[in-house]
Structure 1
Amino acid sequence: MCERLKLSTWRVQVGVLQSMKTYFQRLLLLEKEKDNQNFTALSLILTETCSALTHPLENKSYSSVRTEALSVVELLVKRTGESGQWECVSGKSREQLQRSLSTLQTDSRPDLRDKAQELRRNIQSQP
């Protein structure tokens, strides 16, 4: 899914982002159980995903792509926070997300600006 986000039409990107959201809603690795094997697997998944999400978050042309990408980030932040697995998100991934979210803070749509600002603050406040 991550590969398809960069080189696809906006409709495909929206479809991929919706699939990603469903995937992360159902991902069992984001449950409260912790072990080293799960930590490594989840870290790899989140690193790849955060890197791939920067492109649709910074998409200047299509607000639907930005909206879907923002909802995936919101879900990731919520699920990793609730399960106590925020440490699976590397420092580099956090920086990438914050950088992309700060670009969204200048968006023409106020709802996207506000959500991006809220998520950016949430990411900064995580230990």
Structure 2
Amino acid sequence: MAQPPLQTAARPRADPEMARVIASAADQVRRCYRAPRVGRAGGSIVTTLRVNYAPDGTLAELPRLLGQRGVTEANAYVAQQLAEAATLAIIRCAPISLPPERYSNGWDSFDLTFSPKAVA
């Protein structure tokens, strides 16, 4: 499986500039993703993690798994591997580079969704 498209999710952002800032974070994390060898089994699993950053772009805490969609009895055995790969991508890419002036009530905490079928 190649790098999954990554998107921001869960909490809507009314501010278009903030949406661009968070999309930049997703782009940075995407480059650090290393897909586990799970074959087609993981193709329908969508993983969402909550990330919390400090103003300097370092992680304020470890990413938290919010959930996974598309997990079935047939592919459940790879769900944990995909969650770990997503978590490691976030850790590997820290610190991220985002504008410090947009930190408060902006990119300090948001959700990233890893999805092999999402449209980038």
- Using the size of structure 2 for normalisation, the TM-score is 0.30
Q: Return the structure number with greater strand share.
A: 2
Which TM-score applies when normalising by structure 1?
Answer: 0.29
| Larger RCO (alpha carbons 8 Å, 6+ apart) | 2
Which has a greater percent of helix? 1
